[in-house]
């Protein structure tokens, strides 16, 4: 079969609303990755590769960010960004191939969520191990397991935040209720609504997501390379751990005071 053109693919794999989803589309997808993935789709739609196989590859790419970050210096941070960007590309492509072929499954949705959990956790755990200076590169006084612990703590927080969101759907399903609507996420109390808007404007909570965290790690690696130590990477690990813990609590409260459990 001839390869479909980008013009033929676009209305099918990018239907109205896909790029505008409030909680289902990352800014990087809207900004550039959806255009890259669209061009990759042309070479995949007529192959035997299934959407679920692409999702497995996506998960592997995300997990590889952790060992990539263990490479000392700037190159490790660069490899981490590459791994996460490959994860993002495959995260776009698997759904687009599914739409083109009309091959949808609950298993695919489930695998996609597992991949998201693992990628975010891998980046943060890898960052903590990187800051711990496992290889004793001379840029710090030997392994400092406090930083590995803080990175793992940040990863746990990132996973819990996703779980808090997903468990809303589980609770509603067990009660026989319809899936939650976007409007229900707004807090009912005026004070909480204002706090939510402030947090959304600052977007500090996004720093514990794999894509943003990997870019932050690269910036900190460049600064540390100029300094000749790991000061800013270690500071970054501590800040991300604090954000993860705070956001875990705030997100839980925001769910409880919204209409999502009503």
Model confidence over 96-145: pLDDT tens digits?
A: 999 999 999 999 999 999 999 999 999 999 999 999 998 776 565 556 88
Prediction pTM value: 0.89
Nearest-5° angle of CA 154, CA 71, CA 69?
25
> Among positive and negative, which fits the CA dihedral 213, 79, 18, 117?
negative
**What fold does the segment set 6-256 form as a domain?**
1.20.120
Based on the number of CB atoms within 10 Å of its own CB, is 144 exposed (0-12), middle (13-18) or buried (19 or more)?
A: middle
What pLDDT is attached to residue 24?
Answer: 65
Domain boundaries, given as residue ranges, for the chain: 6-256
Model confidence over 170-211: pLDDT tens digits?
A: 999 898 888 877 655 555 555 555 555 555 555 778 899 999
């Amino acid at each position: 079969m001839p390869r479909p053109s980008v013009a033929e693919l676009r209305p099918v794999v990018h239907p109205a609303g896909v790029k505008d989803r409030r909680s289902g589309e990352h800014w990087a997808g809207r900004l550039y990755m959806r255009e890259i993935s669209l061009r990759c789709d042309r070479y995949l739609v007529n192959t035997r590769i299934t959407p679920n196989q692409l999702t497995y590859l996506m998960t592997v790419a995300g997990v590889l960010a952790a060992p990539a970050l263990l490479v000392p210096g700037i190159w490790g941070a660069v490899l981490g960004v590459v791994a996460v960007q490959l994860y993002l590309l495959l995260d776009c492509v698997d759904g687009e191939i599914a739409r083109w072929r009309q091959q949808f499954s609950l298993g695919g949705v489930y695998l996609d969520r597992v991949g998201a959990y693992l990628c975010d956790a891998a980046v943060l755990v890898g960052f903590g191990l990187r800051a711990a200076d496992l290889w004793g590169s001379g840029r710090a006084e030997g392994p400092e397991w406090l930083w590995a612990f803080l990175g793992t703590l940040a990863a746990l927080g990132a996973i819990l935040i996703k779980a808090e969101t997903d468990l809303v759907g589980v609770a509603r399903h067990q009660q026989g209720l319809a899936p939650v609507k976007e409007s229900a996420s707004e807090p009912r109390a005026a004070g909480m609504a204002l706090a939510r808007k402030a947090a959304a404007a600052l977007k500090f909570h996004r720093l514990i997501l794999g894509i943003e965290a990997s870019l932050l790690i690269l910036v900190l690696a460049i600064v540390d390379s100029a300094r000749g130590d790991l000061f800013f990477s270690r500071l970054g690990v501590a800040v991300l751990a604090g954000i993860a813990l705070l956001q875990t609590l705030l997100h839980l409260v925001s769910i409880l005071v919204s209409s999502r459990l009503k």
